[in-house]
Amino acid sequence: MKRIYIDQDLCEACKNCVLACMANKSDAEIANLDFSDVSNQSANAITQPDNYEDNAPLFCRHCDEPDCVEACMSGALTKDEETGIVSIDEDKCAGCWMCVMSCPYGLAFKDKKRNVAFKCDLCQDQEKPSCIEQCPTGAIKLIEVEDKKVVG
């Protein structure tokens, strides 16, 4: 199974990963993102504590036993047992936000325009996640995880 790994020593909180995710979700180029469009949202985040020394990149953990999947009443959220990826079928999403409320990491979101939930799916339709491709420092990597348990 592959998971995103962040080397916090290399992360400069430039937010390229956030912009790359937004562009990927909207099928736009980063330079052409419309920041006034509420549908341009990212499925990841960079938090910056008050001291700005320790950047905290946040990405979906694709948990071994995901609370979001357990909480999803419509069956829109599923975990692929082979890849370990937790994904959302937007056609099944009822917009109840149980996944948003149950994610212990705060990494399931409301799509503000379409009234469905969304989260990181590791850019399943691409060879490499957009956040990794756009990270200028190489802080974000896709690593193979032997054990299904991802420590967060």
For the chain, which residues make up each domain, given as ranges?
Answer: 1-59+123-144, 63-119
pLDDT at 113: 82
Q: What is the pLDDT of residues 106-121, one digit of tens each?
A: 999 998 888 999 999 9
pLDDT at 24: 86
Distance, in Å, from the CA atom of 91 to the CA atom of 77, rounded to the nearest integer, reads: 11
pLDDT at 73: 95
Q: Do domains 1-59+123-144 and 63-119 have the same CATH topology?
A: yes
The highest-level CATH class for domain 63-119 is alpha beta
pLDDT at 49: 62
Alpha helices, H only, 30-133: 67-71, 98-102, 130-133
pLDDT at 103: 95
At 51, give phi and psi (nearest 5°). Answer: -85, -10
Q: What is the pLDDT of residues 61-76, one digit of tens each?
A: 999 999 999 999 999 9
CATH code of domain 1-59+123-144: 3.30.70.20
Q: State which residues of the chain have pLDDT below 50.
A: 150-152
pLDDT at 150: 47
Contact 61, 152 (CB under 8 A): yes
